[in-house]
Amino acid sequence: MHRHLFLAQRFSALLLAPLVLAHIALIIIAVRHGLTAEEILSRTRGSVVWAVFYGGFVIAAAIHAPIGIRTILNEWTPLNGNIINAFAIAFALVVLVLGLRAVIAVTVVTG
């Protein structure tokens, strides 16, 4: 693994660790308090804090996961390095686009 990928993976992990814990805590709180989808959306829509929180989550995941997948493919498959890199970049874009689409859906006020 190249040094810049190593550093990117470590820094994204540093960001993901608290974000994942906060995300799990939020799920538990929301379920235990019996919040409905409307109640959750009423709190997240228009909120810059939630947009930054989940936007950061998605960006960190889109950096972290493809680097790991690249390593796994490199070690466990006979695929050529260029194919592996192309797959990792495509995977990063999929995570980024799907993730940001979801963040926009729950934080941006529509209509």
Partner 1 sequence: MNLEAAAQSVNLHVKIWRGKDDGGLQSYEVPMRDNQTVLDIITEVQRRHEPALAYRFACRVGVCGSCAMTVNGKPRWTCRTHVKAVVGKTNSLLAAPAITIEPLRNLPRIKDLVCDLTPFFDKWQRAGGKFTGTATRRDPARRIDPQNDARRAANAAIECINCAVCYSACDVVAWDANYLGPAALNRTWTLINDKRHAEQSTTLEKALAAGGCTSCHSQGNCTRSCPVELSPAESIAGLKRAAFFGLPRTR
Residues that bind partner 1 (CB under 8 A): 1-3, 5-7, 10, 71, 74-76
Toward partner 1, which CB reaches closer, 67 or 95? 67
Instruction: Tell me the closest approach of the beta carbon of residue 76 to partner 1, in angstroms.
Output: 7
Toward partner 1, which CB reaches closer, 34 or 76? 76
Instruction: Tell me the closest approach of the beta carbon of residue 78 to partner 1, in angstroms.
Output: 11
81 Cβ contact partners less than 8 Å away, ≥ 6 residues apart: 74
5: its two tokens? 């990928």
For 47: left if phi > 0, alpha if psi spans -120 to 50, otherwise beta; the answer is: beta
Instruction: Tell me the closest approach of the beta carbon of residue 13 to partner 1, in angstroms.
Output: 13
Nearest Cα residue to 66 out of 83, 98, 91: 91
